[in-house]
Structure 1
Amino acid sequence: MLLASLLTAGWLAPAVYTHAQSFTLSTAVGDIQVPLIHVSPGGTLTPPGTPVAPPFTAPAIFAAPLPSGSGARALGAAGAFTAIADDATAASWNPAGLIQLERPEVSAVFRLKREDDHHSSADAAYRVGTDDHSSYALNYLSAVAPVRILERNAVVSMNLQEVFDFSHRFRAEFEQHTGSHSRRTRHAAASDTVQTHYALENGYIDLTEQLTTMQTTTVRQRQSTTMLGQVDFEQEGGVQALSPAFALELTPTLAVGAAVNVYLTGLTDGQSIRSHTFARYTGALEHRVSMRDERRTEGTWNYTGMYVSPTVQVPLDPESGEVPSHTATERDETVTRHAFEGFYEIDDRIDDFAGVNATFGALWTASSRLSFGLCLDLPWQASARQTKTIRSGVQVEGGPAESDQTVAARDVTFDFPLYWAAGAAWRWTDRLTSSLDVSQTLWSDYVYHAEGDPRRNPLDGSSYGEHPVDDCWAARTGLEYLWVLTKTEIPFRLGLSCEQRPSVGSPDTYGGVSLGSGISLGQGANKVILDVAYVFTWGRDVMGTLMPGQTGSLETDMNRHDLYLSCIYHF
């Protein structure tokens, strides 16, 4: 009865005292230490696995095709030849000019080229320098025969001409710093009932706890990468045309002509159009992962019990209360550092290139001193088979080397643009002639289309129309002086040119100066004419879109040297 009266009076009311890892519950039969526990919600966020080297893809480099002029005589006067066109190369400049050839002849022209590109970049992480590359090719081959058709003078010819030169080279060193950060948080809650029996000296307590645990797990991942590498791009090949041509004299002062051009590759060098991009890189990555796991638990308790003595057993009145809210936090951080190296290689090949178009020309001799010429080269489409082989490999320090190779072949088409030229020539004397040409190429119509893909801009690979390309103009002027000797003739030629070439945004502008000369050997039949021409072409701040991602940063100063050697034999 004493125990009951004390409980009723409140002298032995339960008391709760909290310690770091437990709380003390004072009861009528003694104090009990109740551990502070957490209910596990089950599951947690798993830390990321072993870091891997970031994927690397070599940039797609885009080099525009460069139209090739024909013949040492024409190019010695900078190509201002539309209103003159009085040798076998007239089939490419103005087919109507063939009418001026009075004897059968054959001719051949060889070209040697060297180009120096001085690159600079405003991007400090992108280091470029000077690239130089050279090539040689058969520039022109022809056979010409005058004929009579319907009582009119006419000329027929068969020509093999170099149309486009795709050769280019580019090298650069690059440095990349990349970083990534991610954070994932998981919230979970769980509730449980915990029952514990406590046997004490004066009795026992049956404690029941209703606990709820809220768990928050946060994983932060940071990865930083430093990469150093070098990319080397080389493109070779060209497009040639087999061109049967015909010229007809309509009146003594007016002639017209036409040529059918069958475009192919490998006619002179047996090679297709191909490009090779190779990038090698090394780097280091740091991978930092931190985890924070927080559990906060709260709840209620209640107990029943019994006071036990040698003479009496008295049930304790049920009691209840709140479990002290308690929090446990665990932290962990790991940092790993790895070195890696890798390569990325692209072989791109264009085979079975074929297309057909026509070139029309007119030549009007307005007077003994003045003549006008007009040439129209129709737009055309080329079909081809493109095979792209991509090889890549990477190895992270301490890990296995990984490599991959894919080969994709598709049918593709190229839409080449219309070209026109108009020219005038003035004969100051029988020995001195000057000429002027203006021409335009509608490069805005230049399109690349791969099977299954939308049409694209060949200059940067973007969707056609996304980055428009402007049409390009050119102006050329030339001067020829003929030094007539007793048994030979020696010409001296000079030419200047200003031309635009296609580029994304706005055309690049190039200047040119040319010098030419030659000598004739013999008279009439068996006459041989040898010609030579040197052409120097320069461009400043050009090819700004050569490398994707460097638009506005990359600038190139280009110097190109061409030497043309030709031989004409008259029957």
Structure 2
Amino acid sequence: MKLLTHSLFVAAVLICQSGIVWAVSVDIKTPIGDITVDISHASTAGQLVEPKDPTGAGFRPPTIFSAPLPTGSGARALGQAGAFTAVADDATAASWNPAGLTQLEYAEMSVVYRFSSQEDQHHSSSRDLTSGADRYSNDELNYASAVYPFLLNGQNAVFSMNFQEAYDFNQSFTAQFAGSTQQDISAADNQTFYESTTNRNSLGVNTVAITRTTTEVESEINQLLQSSLLSDISFFQQGTIDAFSPAFAVDLTPRLSVGIAVNIYVDGAARGNAIRSSLAAGYTGASESYTEGTNTYNSSSMITVTGIQYVGPPYNQVEQPFSETAGPITFSDTELYTNESTYGVTGMYWEENRTEQFYGFNATLGALWAASDRLTLGASVDLPWTGRGKQTKSIQHQVTTFNSNGVQVAQNYYNATDKRDVEYTFPLYWAVGALWRWNDRFYSSLDASRTYWSDYSYKAEGEERINPLNGESYSSSNSDDCWSLRFGSEYLCVLSWTEIPLRGGLFWEQRPATGSPDEYWGVTLGSGISLGKEPGRLILDVAYSFECANDVMGSLIPGQGMTSDVSKHQLFVSAIWHF
């Protein structure tokens, strides 16, 4: 006997909480009476959209971005603000203009020491970033050399071995960051569920109804995530790149000389100045989530009824099985819901970067021309070079999460160390200078130079090449090239038993930064004393340098509108022994 669709009577009945229709009851007329079958949606869907876990930014240079700065060499040169390209008449000439070495008449040894102190006063346009002043200092062996003059085919020639502190990474930074974020997340999801149920019929023995339901669930979720975080940040960076530089210079004519220095660069690890940085941040915060969701349930059900009917006279009834199918029966429901939760978090983040086995090579070329008895012109070029090494990045991160009642619900630890080959590309530098002798005891010099910081880049194994000043892609974020001007003078006081030079200078220079170069101004003073007579004369020199700048170092914390007012004091002390 076939069960016809027009014999179905479908009635919707409330069988769940919150007034939402989750199921229907279907009355089916069979040969043995009405069978009521409850049909419900298969499973459920529409889960809360959780905030995504943070992902790493890839292998990067030290967390706070800055460029290593050339330190300059020698108390005599820096007493004249570094306007030394056309002077270059002491052992440090190998770093300023190797051609000037031919002016040295005696074999000599020299050593230079540098003392440095810097204060950075930070200010930010962001109310979330608070930082006062950072003060840090260091002292380093700045230069050491041995010089040997000789004659080559009747012309003056000089060979020297030099050690120089080429680049300084010293930096310190502390701040407090109060960050808040708000994010709207919208998501849509479609899922299909299947479910089979069996309902025993109450009108006859062994009579059952089997239901197969297919439910498609369309979910739309809108979530507002808000978080606030208070962090104490402490950053420290140190290290040097040193150069061992054999140099050679020769007079081509009595008025023209040329020279070359081959620079072999290594990190300062051998003397306790490895390139490393550390960042520590302790933070507390809270995260709130408010979610509104809609689930639409569209179900289609097929019903199969199997049973036994008894036919014939009461005294001789016969069991007659039957099976009927009905459907599809469709019905829909909509669920609206909200979810609100709050979590607190405390954590500690620590990162250390260390660069080891660093090396590189380049050459410094120079020329010096005595155009007249009063005027000397000089030029030098420091060729671009690539420094390679191994950088180890170590990260430790601990996060503890609390619910709205202050009960700890999770504690997570993250500890990772990654070591990769890295390379820094350092830029071309050139300088030209002029010296004017007012008389035998007094001269002035002027230098102009340019450094092509647009070529400065960083590349880690497996990562794209980036601009180290802001961590962005090198192809789309180059730094501007930088100029500098330096002016200096020296007056020699000749006494019966010694000579005392009086030196002074002014300088202006640009330094690499995101956007446009930072501008620094400085003044220098210097003097010295000569003891003994040739050979065996000892020359002691001292130089003081003060430099300052306003609204610079914006690349320290990119995107936060932070700049700094900088003041730096340096003292150079040198000793030269002729023998």
Shorter-chain TM range is: 0.7 to 0.9
User: TM-score normalized by structure 2?
Assistant: 0.80
Structure 1 residue 555 and structure 2 residue 567: aligned?
Answer: no
Q: Deviations over 1:244-289 (max 9, x none)?
A: 1112122221111111111111266233211112222111122345
Contact 2:269 2:275 in 1 (8 A): no
Match 1:489 to one of 499, 510, 514? 499
Structure 1 residue ranges without an equivalent (≥5): 1-15, 26-33, 200-207, 300-324
Structure 1 residues 256 and 192, CA gap change in structure 2 (3 angstroms): closer
Structure 1 residue 537 and structure 2 residue 547: aligned?
Answer: yes
Distance between the aligned counterparts of 1:449 and 1:19, measured in 2? 68
Match 1:250 to one of 249, 252, 258? 252
The one-letter amino acid paired with 2:535 is A
The one-letter amino acid paired with 2:225 is Q
Match 2:419 to one of 406, 409, 413? 409
Secondary structure of 1:103's counterpart equals coil
Distance between the aligned counterparts of 1:44 and 1:262, measured in 2? 69
Q: Report deviation, 1:296.
A: 9.2
- Following superposition of structure 1 onto structure 2, how do residues 17-32 of structure 1 map, counting pairs within 5 Å? none
Structure 1 range deviating more: 496-505 or 74-83: 496-505
Structure 1 residue 419 and structure 2 residue 429: aligned?
Answer: yes
Distance between the aligned counterparts of 2:384 and 2:528, measured in 1? 35
Structure 1 residue 383 and structure 2 residue 393: aligned?
Answer: no
Match 1:167 to one of 160, 167, 170? 170
Structure 1 residue 507 and structure 2 residue 510: aligned?
Answer: no
The one-letter amino acid paired with 2:226 is S
Contact 1:40 1:213 in 2 (8 A): no
Q: Report deviation, 1:354.
A: 0.8
**Identity over the aligned pairs, expressed in percent?**
46
Structure 1 residues 268 and 473, CA gap change in structure 2 (3 angstroms): farther
Distance between the aligned counterparts of 1:525 and 1:374, measured in 2? 31
The number of equivalent residue pairs is 529
- Following superposition of structure 1 onto structure 2, how do residues 324-339 of structure 1 map, counting pairs within 5 Å? 333-339=338-344
Q: Which residue number in structure 2 is paired with residue 463 of structure 1?
A: 473
Contact 1:356 1:380 in 2 (8 A): yes
The one-letter amino acid paired with 1:357 is N
Q: Which residue number in structure 2 is paired with residue 546 of structure 1?
A: 556
Q: Which residue number in structure 2 is paired with residue 41 of structure 1?
A: 41
Contact 2:46 2:219 in 1 (8 A): no
Q: Which residue number in structure 1 is paired with residue 351 of structure 2?
A: 346
Q: Which residue number in structure 1 is paired with residue 271 of structure 2?
A: 269
Distance between the aligned counterparts of 1:542 and 1:523, measured in 2? 48
Contact 1:62 1:547 in 2 (8 A): yes
Structure 1 residues 57 and 193, CA gap change in structure 2 (3 angstroms): closer
Structure 2 residue ranges without an equivalent (≥5): 1-9, 16-23, 28-34, 204-208, 302-329, 403-407
Contact 1:234 1:276 in 2 (8 A): yes
Distance between the aligned counterparts of 2:299 and 2:381, measured in 1? 87
Contact 1:60 1:548 in 2 (8 A): no
Q: Deviations over 1:20-60 (max 9, x none)?
A: 9999x9xxxxxxxx99x9732202125449x7896487993
Q: Report deviation, 1:332.
A: 5.2
Q: Deviations over 1:417-437 (max 9, x none)?
A: 111111110111111110001
Contact 1:223 1:288 in 2 (8 A): yes
Structure 1 residue 61 and structure 2 residue 64: aligned?
Answer: yes
Structure 1 residues 160 and 222, CA gap change in structure 2 (3 angstroms): same
Distance between the aligned counterparts of 2:269 and 2:189, measured in 1? 65
Contact 2:66 2:555 in 1 (8 A): no
Contact 1:77 1:516 in 2 (8 A): yes
Distance between the aligned counterparts of 1:370 and 1:17, measured in 2? 110
Structure 1 residues 185 and 253, CA gap change in structure 2 (3 angstroms): closer
Contact 1:375 1:422 in 2 (8 A): yes
Q: Which residue number in structure 2 is paired with residue 12 of structure 1?
A: none
Q: Which residue number in structure 2 is paired with residue 302 of structure 1?
A: none
Structure 1 range deviating more: 460-469 or 162-171: 460-469
- Following superposition of structure 1 onto structure 2, how do residues 39-438 of structure 1 map, counting pairs within 5 Å? 39-45=39-45, 47-48=47-48, 55=54, 60-178=63-181, 179-184=183-188, 220=221, 221-266=223-268, 269-289=271-291, 333-397=338-402, 398-438=408-448
Q: Which residue number in structure 2 is paired with residue 306 of structure 1?
A: none
Distance between the aligned counterparts of 1:538 and 1:55, measured in 2? 39
Distance between the aligned counterparts of 1:258 and 1:197, measured in 2? 104
Q: Which residue number in structure 2 is paired with residue 310 of structure 1?
A: none
User: TM-score normalized by structure 1?
Assistant: 0.81
The one-letter amino acid paired with 1:448 is Y
The one-letter amino acid paired with 1:272 is A
Secondary structure of 2:89's counterpart equals coil
The one-letter amino acid paired with 1:337 is T
